[in-house]
C-alpha cells in the first residue's frame, strides 16, 4: 500500500512538472514567429520578415528566387548577420528591397517570387523550413539581356527548359546562343579523344617535315566541318523522326571494330609496319588531294565523320533541347543551322590544335619518332576506351593497368640513373609514376574495383550496396540494369512508396561515367537520395522497348534523369540531361517533394 502511494505521489509530481514546462515553453505558431510579406512599391519590391521575440533565422538558409515562369536565383543585398556560438543568425527583422528591373532583366511577364528560410526559437525548437511565394504582374514586353539568357541556358539542365528559352527568340539570337554553347561543350570530356586523333592526322600528313600553320589549320578545318555536318544531319533527322541515330553506331560490333582500328594505328605509329593503300590508288588520291590544295582530304573528312558518330559528345541539355525544338516546331532549317553553329563552336579548340601544330612544333629530327610513339600510346588508350564500352570493367581495368606499366617499361623506368641527367631524370620519374599507377590499377582489379579512378575503393569504403537506393546505408555503387520497358518501369515506380529517380545511361557515355564517379557517390547527394528509390537503366542495347521507353518520357540520348512524385506521377519539368555537378544535383533534389 505504501508503494502504491509513493508511485501516485511521483506521478503527480512529474505531471505537475511537465505542465510547468509546457507553459514555460509555449512556442508561437509559425505564422506568428515569422510574419513574411512582399509588396511592390514603385520600382522596388519591399520584402519583410518580422520576427517574434526570441526567434531567429539561420542566415545561410535565407534564399530569394523566381520560381515561375522559370527558376532563377536572385542575388539580393542582405543585411549583415550576427555570429552566435559559431552560427550566423538574423535575430532582428529582415528588410530587403529588390529592384523590379533586376527581375525584369531576367523574365518577361508575370512571375512568382519565393522567399525561403529556416528558423528556430532561442528556447530550443526549430520550425520546419518555410517557403512563401508571391505573384506579381510583370512587363510582357520586357527585354531580357543576352548574357542573362545565356546564363539561364548554361544553368538549365532540363531540355524542355532549353526549348522554352528558344521559343519566341529571333533566329540570330538562337544561332549565336548555340555557337557559344558549343564553345562550352568543347570543354566536356567527350571532345578530348578527338584532339589526339586530329593531332595524329596532322603528324601523319606532314611526313618528315614540319607542318605549316596554314596546312595544320586546313586539315583541322576539314575535320571540324565534316564533324559539324554530321552532327547537323543527325540532329535534324533525329528531331524530325524522333530517333537517336548515334545509338545505332554504339553497338558492340562497331565499337570493337574501331577499337581494333585504333590498335592497328598504334602499332603503325610504333614503327612495326606502315599502313598504305596500293600505290595505284595512292597516286590517284594524292593527285586529287593536291588539286584541292591539301593532302588526305578524303581520309580527314571520313575521320571527322566517324569521330562525330563514335566518339562524339554524350547528350547535353543544349543538344537535346535543339533536337526537341526541331521535333516540336518542325523548323528543320533553323534547327539545323543552330546545330551547325554549335558544332563549329565545339570544334574551335580543334582548329587551334591545327594552327598550333604548325606554329609550335620544333624542327624535324629524332624527336618525331618520340612524338609518333607518344601518339601510339594515345591510340592504344583510345582502343581501350572504345573496348571498355563493350567488355566488363575487370577486363577494361586490366588493359589500362597493362598500358600504364608497359608504357613505363617503354620509357625506361629501370634504366641506369647514371645514364640520365636533367630533364631525362624527370622523364624517368614520370615513367615510375606510370608504373606505380598501373600496379595500383592491377591491385584494384584483384580487389574487384570497377574504376581506374578509384582502384582502392573496396579497401577504403566500409559498405558497398548494389541495387536500390533508399536504405539508411550509404550507397557507393548502383548497378545499371538493362531490359526495361514502359510497363516494367511503371511497375517498379508503383511499387515504391517514396519519390523515384530514374537514371538512363549507356556504356558508351562519358558523362554517364562522370555522374557515377563524381555526382552520385557524393555524401550530400547520398544523404538526399535516402528520400528516393533509385533506378539505373542501361539502354546501351537500344532495343525497341528501350527506344519506346525513352520516347515515352521525351528523352533524347544519355545521360538523362527523370523523377516521379509519391503518387507515381512523372515530373517532366524536373528532368535532367547531361552531367550535373553534385552541388547542383543536391539543390535540384531538394526541389522535389
151 within domain boundaries: no
The strand pairing partners of 481, in sequence order, are: 537
Percent of the chain with pLDDT over 90: 11
CATH number at residue 80: 2.60.40.1250
One domain, residues 177 and 302: yes
Q: How far apart, in whole angstroms, are the C-alpha atoms of residue 6 and residue 156?
A: 68
Tens digit of each residue's pLDDT (9 = 90 or more) over 364-421: 455 556 666 777 787 788 788 878 777 888 888 899 999 999 888 888 888 776 666 6
Q: Contact at 8 Å (CB) between 439 and 405?
A: yes
| pLDDT the model gives residue 3 | 47
One domain, residues 412 and 384: no
| pLDDT at residue 556 is higher than 80 | no
What does each C-alpha distance from 435 to 424, 443, 450 come to in angstroms?
Answer: 17, 12, 20
Q: How far apart, in whole angstroms, are the C-alpha atoms of residue 456 and residue 444?
A: 6
| pTM passes above 0.85 | no
234 within domain boundaries: yes
One domain, residues 343 and 217: yes
DSSP 34-55: EEEEEEEETTEEEEEEEEPTTE
| pLDDT at residue 8 is higher than 60 | no
Written as nine digits, the cell of 172 is 540570330
Written as nine digits, the cell of 426 is 624527370
Q: Contact at 8 Å (CB) between 256 and 390?
A: yes
The strand pairing partners of 117, in sequence order, are: 130
pLDDT-wise least confident of 248-262, 298-312, 349-363, 462-476: 462-476
Q: How far apart, in whole angstroms, are the C-alpha atoms of residue 289 and residue 284?
A: 9
Indicate the residue among 340, 360, 391 that finishes a domain: 391
582 within domain boundaries: yes
| pLDDT the model gives residue 471 | 41
| pLDDT the model gives residue 472 | 40
β-pairing, 532-538 vs 499-505, is parallel
Residue with C-alpha cell 522559370? 70
Question: What's the pLDDT band for 560 if we cut at 50, 70, 90?
Answer: confident
One domain, residues 310 and 258: yes
Q: Contact at 8 Å (CB) between 259 and 387?
A: yes
| pLDDT at residue 115 is higher than 90 | yes
pLDDT-wise least confident of 15-24, 131-140, 174-183, 531-540: 15-24
Q: Which whole number is the average pLDDT over 316-322?
A: 64
Cα dihedral value 410, 414, 418, 420, nearest 10: 30
One domain, residues 300 and 214: yes
397 within domain boundaries: no
| pLDDT the model gives residue 402 | 92
Q: Which whole number is the average pLDDT over 488-515?
A: 86
Question: What's the pLDDT band for 238 if we cut at 50, 70, 90?
Answer: low
One domain, residues 182 and 292: yes
14 within domain boundaries: no
The three-state secondary structure class of 56 is strand
| pLDDT the model gives residue 387 | 82
Indicate the residue among 81, 112, 136 that finishes a domain: 136
Q: How far apart, in whole angstroms, are the C-alpha atoms of residue 59 and residue 47?
A: 16
Q: Which whole number is the average pLDDT over 570-588?
A: 86
One domain, residues 447 and 583: no
Number of structural domains in the chain: 4
CA atoms within 13 A on the CB side of 341: 19
Q: How far apart, in whole angstroms, are the C-alpha atoms of residue 498 and residue 493?
A: 9
Q: Contact at 8 Å (CB) between 464 and 478?
A: no
235 within domain boundaries: yes
147 within domain boundaries: no
Indicate the residue among 74, 109, 136 that finishes a domain: 136
| pLDDT the model gives residue 546 | 87
| pLDDT the model gives residue 171 | 77
The three-state secondary structure class of 301 is helix
One domain, residues 177 and 270: yes
pLDDT-wise least confident of 270-274, 276-280, 332-336, 417-421: 276-280
Question: What's the pLDDT band for 95 if we cut at 50, 70, 90?
Answer: very high
The three-state secondary structure class of 190 is coil
Q: Which whole number is the average pLDDT over 358-364?
A: 50
Residue with C-alpha cell 543551322? 337
Q: What is the DSSP letter of 519?
A: I
One domain, residues 259 and 293: yes
Q: How far apart, in whole angstroms, are the C-alpha atoms of residue 88 and residue 307?
A: 52
The 560-564 sheet, strands edge to edge? 532-538, 499-505, 560-564, 576-577
| pLDDT the model gives residue 357 | 61
| pLDDT the model gives residue 573 | 79
The three-state secondary structure class of 378 is helix
pLDDT-wise least confident of 86-95, 168-177, 192-201, 557-566: 192-201
One domain, residues 436 and 511: no
The two most distant CA atoms of the chain are separated, in Å, by: 118
Max avg pLDDT among 27-36, 237-246, 494-503: 494-503
| pLDDT at residue 90 is higher than 50 | yes
Written as nine digits, the cell of 455 is 582502384
Written as nine digits, the cell of 433 is 609514376
| DSSP H/E element including 135 | strand 130-136
Q: Contact at 8 Å (CB) between 379 and 265?
A: yes
| pLDDT the model gives residue 405 | 92
Single out the residue of 286, 311, 305 nearest to residue 196, CA to CA. 311
Q: How far apart, in whole angstroms, are the C-alpha atoms of residue 123 and residue 25?
A: 7
Written as nine digits, the cell of 572 is 517532366
- Domain holding 67, by residue range, is 30-136
| pLDDT at residue 134 is higher than 80 | yes
Q: Residue 496 phi/psi, 5° resolution?
A: -95, 140
Written as nine digits, the cell of 38 is 512582399
Question: What's the pLDDT band for 168 if we cut at 50, 70, 90?
Answer: low
CATH number at residue 586: 3.40.30.10
329 within domain boundaries: yes
One domain, residues 363 and 226: yes
The three-state secondary structure class of 520 is coil
| pLDDT at residue 502 is higher than 90 | yes
| pLDDT the model gives residue 209 | 55
Q: How far apart, in whole angstroms, are the C-alpha atoms of residue 305 and residue 301?
A: 6
What is the rounded radius of gyration, in angstroms, for the C-alpha atoms of the chain? 30
Cα dihedral value 357, 360, 362, 364, nearest 10: 20
Where is pLDDT greater, at 6 or 502?
Answer: 502
Percent of the chain with pLDDT over 70: 67
Question: What's the pLDDT band for 2 if we cut at 50, 70, 90?
Answer: very low
One domain, residues 425 and 529: no
Determine the Cα angle at 113 with ends 112 and 115, to 5°: 145
Single out the residue of 158, 150, 153 nearest to residue 578, CA to CA. 158
Cα 465 → chain centroid: 24
| pLDDT the model gives residue 244 | 52
The strand pairing partners of 246, in sequence order, are: none
Single out the residue of 291, 265, 267, 293 nearest to residue 199, CA to CA. 265
Tens digit of each residue's pLDDT (9 = 90 or more) over 446-460: 888 877 877 887 777
Q: How far apart, in whole angstroms, are the C-alpha atoms of residue 576 and residue 558?
A: 10
Alpha-helix runs per DSSP H in 242-316: 245-248, 252-269, 279-291, 297-310
Amino acid at each position: 500500500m505504501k508503494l502504491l502511494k509513493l508511485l501516485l505521489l511521483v506521478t503527480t509530481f512529474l505531471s505537475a512538472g511537465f505542465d510547468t514546462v509546457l507553459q514555460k515553453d509555449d512556442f508561437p505558431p509559425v505564422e506568428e514567429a515569422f510574419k513574411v510579406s512582399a509588396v511592390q512599391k514603385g520600382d522596388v519590391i519591399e520584402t519583410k520578415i518580422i520576427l517574434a521575440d526570441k526567434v531567429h533565422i539561420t542566415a545561410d538558409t535565407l534564399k530569394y528566387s523566381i520560381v515561375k515562369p522559370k527558376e532563377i536565383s536572385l542575388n539580393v543585398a542582405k543585411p549583415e548577420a550576427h555570429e552566435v556560438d559559431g552560427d550566423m543568425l538574423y535575430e532582428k527583422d529582415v528588410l530587403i528591397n529588390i529592384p523590379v528591373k533586376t527581375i525584369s532583366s531576367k523574365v518577361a511577364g508575370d512571375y512568382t517570387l519565393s522567399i525561403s528560410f529556416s528558423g528556430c526559437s532561442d528556447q530550443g525548437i526549430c520550425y520546419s523550413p518555410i517557403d512563401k511565394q508571391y505573384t506579381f504582374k510583370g512587363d510582357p514586353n520586357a527585354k531580357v539581356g543576352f548574357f542573362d539568357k545565356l546564363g539561364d541556358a548554361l544553368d538549365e539542365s532540363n531540355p524542355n527548359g532549353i526549348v522554352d528559352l528558344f521559343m519566341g527568340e529571333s533566329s540570330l539570337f538562337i544561332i549565336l546562343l548555340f555557337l557559344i554553347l558549343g564553345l562550352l561543350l568543347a570543354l566536356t570530356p567527350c571532345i578530348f579523344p578527338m584532339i589526339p586523333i586530329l593531332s595524329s592526322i596532322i603528324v601523319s600528313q606532314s611526313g618528315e617535315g614540319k607542318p605549316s600553320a596554314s596546312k595544320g589549320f586546313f586539315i583541322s578545318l576539314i575535320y571540324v566541318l565534316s564533324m559539324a555536318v554530321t552532327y547537323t544531319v543527325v540532329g535534324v533527322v533525329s528531331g524530325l523522326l524522333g530517333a537517336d541515330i548515334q545509338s545505332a553506331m554504339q553497338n558492340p560490333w562497331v565499337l570493337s571494330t574501331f577499337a581494333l582500328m585504333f590498335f592497328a594505328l598504334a602499332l603503325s605509329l610504333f614503327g612495326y609496319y606502315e599502313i598504305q593503300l596500293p600505290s595505284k590508288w595512292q597516286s590517284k588520291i594524292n593527285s586529287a588531294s593536291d588539286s584541292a590544295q591539301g593532302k588526305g582530304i578524303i581520309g580527314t573528312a571520313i575521320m571527322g565523320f566517324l569521330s562525330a558518330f563514335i566518339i562524339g559528345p554524350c547528350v547535353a541539355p543544349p543538344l537535346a533541347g535543339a533536337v526537341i525544338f526541331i521535333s516540336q516546331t518542325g523548323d528543320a532549317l533553323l534547327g539545323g543551322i543552330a546545330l551547325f553553329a554549335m558544332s563549329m563552336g565545339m570544334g574551335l579548340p580543334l582548329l587551334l590544335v591545327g594552327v598550333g601544330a604548325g606554329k609550335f612544333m620544333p624542327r624535324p629530327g629524332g624527336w618525331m619518332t618520340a612524338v609518333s610513339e607518344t601518339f601510339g600510346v594515345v591510340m592504344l588508350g583510345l582502343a581501350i576506351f572504345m573496348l571498355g564500352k563493350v567488355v566488363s570493367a575487370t577486363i577494361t581495368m586490366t588493359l589500362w593497368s597493362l598500358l600504364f606499366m608497359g608504357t613505363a617499361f617503354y620509357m625506361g623506368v629501370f634504366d641506369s640513373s647514371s645514364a640520365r641527367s636533367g630533364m631525362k631524370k624527370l622523364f624517368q620519374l614520370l615513367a615510375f609514376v606510370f608504373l606505380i599507377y598501373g600496379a595500383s590499377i592491377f591491385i584494384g582489379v584483384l580487389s574487384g574495383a570497377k574504376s581506374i579512378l578509384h582502384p582502392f575503393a573496396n579497401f577504403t569504403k566500409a559498405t558497398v550496396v548494389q541495387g536500390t537506393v533508399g536504405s539508411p546505408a550509404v550507397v557507393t555503387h548502383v548497378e545499371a540494369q538493362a531490359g526495361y520497358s514502359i510497363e516494367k518501369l511503371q511497375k517498379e515506380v508503383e511499387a515504391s512508396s517514396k519519390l523515384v529517380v530514374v537514371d538512363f545511361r549507356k556504356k558508351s557515355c562519358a558523362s554517364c561515367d562522370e555522374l557515377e564517379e563524381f555526382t552520385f557517390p557524393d555524401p550530400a547527394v547520398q544523404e538526399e537520395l535516402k528520400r528516393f528509390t533509385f533506378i539505373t537503366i542501361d539502354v546501351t542495347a537500344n532495343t525497341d522497348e528501350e527506344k519506346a521507353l525513352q520516347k515515352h518520357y521525351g528523352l533524347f540520348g544519355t545521360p538523362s534523369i527523370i523523377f516521379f512524385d509519391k503518387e507515381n506521377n512523372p515530373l517532366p519539368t524536373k528532368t535532367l540531361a547531361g552531367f550535373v555537378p553534385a552541388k547542383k544535383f543536391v539543390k535540384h533534389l531538394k526541389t522535389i517533394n
